Amino acid sequence: MNKRAEVKEISLEQAAFWMPFTANRQFKKAPRLLARAEGMYYWTPEGRQVLDGTAGLWCVNAGHCRPKIVEAVKRQVAQMDFAPTFQMGHPIAFEFAERLARIAPEGFSRVFFTNSGSESADTALKIALAYHRARGEAGRYRLIGRERGYHGVNFGGMAVGGITANKKFFGPGVAGVDHIRHTHDPARNAFSRGQPKHGQEFADELERLCLLHDPSTIAAVIVEPVAGSAGVLVPPVGYLERLREICTRHGILLIFDEVITGFGRLGKPFGSQHFGVMPDLFTTAKGMTNATVPMGGVFIKDSIFEAFMQGGEGIELFHGYTYSGHPLACAAGVATLDTYEEEGLLTRVSTIEKHWESAAHGLKGAPHVADIRNCGLMAAIELEARAGQPGKRAYEVFVKAFEAGVLIRVTGDTIALSPPLIVEKAQIDRIFECIATMLRSVN
Ligand SMILES: Cc1ncc(COP(=O)(O)O)c(C=O)c1O
């Protein structure tokens, strides 16, 4: 089969596209382009095959261009391109929500549709605030995030997020936000396999903030079950349980950001089910439609939804997006769930995670490796930073791996990996062998 895609000649030098989270000038001098995808692979415009070690951007969980999803989107776009969901409805949005509720943890039978992880984060925060107000506790306005957390780039998610570079350019942000400390503790936990042993007590920081601010002013706490963008920070044993317990005791809502951990990444449909700790709301996106059409969603505990349904007639939540429940996204979503279910992908990780873990930790002792972390089908290889050049060494590994036909992701000096859930053992081996080779080739 000819793997070359038909691509128009484009000049990148003066390209109109201002690329997100990219060093534009550097990229345009030495671009890396992808033009075609199928299953576990991308192909460059020249037809060079690249193994996808990152599921795109943690999102193509079923692998690329899955026929059922492609067909469903084609069918839907020909049947009805768009219809509003404000005071109107279309069947496939209801169908998709119903299907999602079936795989959600018990007691989460409602979903609010958004178009991205960032919108999901802001939507969840707004629902939390409005929920307390609906119950007569409008004084709960504070939102608590965590250092090194990532909840997208909109103002709410940016405010509760904890990655300095994502915040420092954009002013004072949202009022009434505070943060608990992150859980990264390499001195005690380096090279942990799965959940690290030490650090449950980091959750007690929430108690400290309750003392400082008074818990009756705190609406919600938001954390990623496993912090992804900050470099796969796995929660210490007992940590999420402790957060849950403190939130419950003080009437604070616990929001899990499952944009990465949702849809099978940890071996269960959602991270909460993997860890056995239930939030009050959780956000999703990415794997929801296998990234075929952008979409996100916030899952809401029944008791929270019911609190909104107690008032007088009329709109219960003044919130929504033009594209909430977009027909194309819903069609992609239904076909995605079909694919996940037919192939057992939402639980497949439990059958390969030991192989994944051993392969990842096989890099212990390789040049420059300072720490290795893993959970489900996520892994991070943290490198020693080159003196005076933070991020440079990992970036070189990334470029060389791409040239050798493996797509990895780097954030600072950490290599983050999250292949599609269909990955085979031989492909896992290839990803880590490639990284080992590249680590030996950089100084
Ligand atoms: C945990 C988490 N939340 C939110 C987002 C933002 O999602 P999006 O880029 O779709 O807005 C991301 C993206 O990586 C994420 O990892």
pLDDT at 3: 59
d(CA 136, ligand 1 centre) in Å: 32
**371 pLDDT higher than 90:** yes
pLDDT over 80 at 50, yes or no: yes
Mutation probe of ligand 1 site: the residue of 234, 259, 266 with most atoms within 8 A of C-beta: 259
Q: Is the CB of 260 under 6 A from ligand 1?
A: yes
CB of 406 within 6 A of ligand 1: the answer is no
What pLDDT is stored for residue 383 in this prediction?
A: 98
Q: What is the pLDDT of residue 12?
A: 80
Task: Evaluate: CB of 116 within 6 angstroms of ligand 1.
Answer: yes
Centroid of ligand 1 to alpha carbon of 393 (angstroms): 25
Ligand 1 atom, smallest distance to 157 CA: 4
Question: At a CB cut-off of 8 Å and minimum separation 6, what does 80 contact?
Answer: 90, 327
In the prediction, which pLDDT does 5 show? 73
pLDDT in tens, 59-100: 999 999 999 999 999 999 999 999 999 999 999 999 999 999
Quick one: pLDDT at residue 311? 87
Task: Write the pLDDT tens digit of every residue in 107-150.
Answer: 999 999 999 999 999 999 999 999 999 999 999 999 999 999 99
Judged against a pLDDT cut of 50, whether residue 1 lies above it is answered with: no
Mean pLDDT value of segment 220-246: 98
Q: Is the CB of 122 under 6 A from ligand 1?
A: no
pLDDT at 8: 74
The mean-pLDDT minimum among 102-106, 308-312, 325-329, 332-336 falls in 308-312
23-27, 87-91, 311-315: range with highest mean pLDDT: 87-91
Q: Is the CB of 150 under 6 A from ligand 1?
A: yes
pLDDT bin (cut points 50, 70, 90) of residue 6 is confident
